[in-house]
Amino acid sequence: MSSRPDPQDNLATVAQLLEQLPAARPQLVVLPEAFCCFGAGDRAQLDMAETYQDGKVQRQLASLAKTHGIYLVGGTLPIKAGERFSAASLLFGPDGTIVNRYDKIHLFDVDVADNTKNYRESKWTQPGAKVVTAATDLGVVGMSVCYDLRFPELFRALRQAGSDIIVLPSGFTQVTGKAHWHALVRARAIEQQIFIVAPNQFGQHDNGRETYGHSIIVSPWGEILAEQEQGEGIISVSVDLADIESIRKQMPVAQQNQFEVVQKT
């Protein structure tokens, strides 16, 4: 997706894209970071922030998940958190209920050589603090968002929590994406021997920000199984979790690792 500032425009796009889904079920569908509002600035995200489990966008996502009988990760959407908002990634089940919620832990406070130059997510966003997984009919889904990709400790913690698939809704910039996107997503998949589903925003947005695109699905061996470089659309693959067992048996890195994850709370 190349999301715009108006949530209803973006939700209309989501609804159209979901009509193109393959017939297979169970199915996990993942939307990009900030899918419902992008390009209007963080203040606009704060203004549209909803109360958790009570908001128009959440109800529409629940309805779409139920209509199509899918697990649906609503990228991220702003959820009220005092004077700021949480960048919340919500996983809806095929019955339309929220299975779990992940609040983005690592906030994008960096300087980039692009039109925006200075990114300070923490000004408006309340960081999360919990490693989140969800049991589904496709296996255990671990949840992460965009800038989390640069912190391998989180991915290791998700693996230790039993994840088979990690979802990574993203809005990687053009500059950082071109330099690091493929290398980092593949590295995290290889390190943790896990499937990663990584949809990314693409194109020029209303506020001048440019995102990289190249949505990808990566295997536990680091293979790019599907990719869409630019343009709206859907990529999909059929996965066999037995592939994970085979790779982990052949190369038991988790058992051989000499270091432990210590979660900061």
Q: Do you know the residue count of the chain?
A: 265
The first and second tokens of residue 69, run together, are: 């009988």
Q: Which residue of the set 33, 50, 121, 210 is catalytic?
A: 33
Asked if 211 contacts 172 with a C-beta cutoff of 8 angstroms, the reply is yes
Q: Distance between CA 222 and CA 204 in Å, rounded?
A: 29
Annotated catalytic, 264?
A: no
Look up 36 and say whether it is catalytic: no
Per the residue annotation, which of 36, 50, 146, 210 is the catalytic one?
Answer: 146
Instruction: Give the distance, in angstroms, between the CA of residue 185 and the centroid of all CA atoms in the same chain.
Output: 12
Which amino acid belongs to residue 87?
Answer: A
Label residue 167 exposed, middle or buried (CB < 10 Å: 0-12, 13-18, 19+): buried
Helices 182-192 + 152-160 axis angle, to 10: 30
Assess whether the previous peptide bond of 26 is cis (omega < 30° from 0).
yes
Catalytic residue among 36, 104, 121, 210: 104
Is 178 one of the annotated active-site residues of the chain?
Answer: no
Backbone angles phi, psi at 178, to 5 degrees: -60, -35
Map residue 82 onto helix, strand or coil.
Answer: coil
**How far is residue 116's CA from residue 210's CA, in Å, rounded to a whole number?**
9
| Cα atoms found within 13 Å of the Cα of residue 250, Cβ hemisphere only | 9
Q: Which residues are catalytic?
A: 33, 104, 146
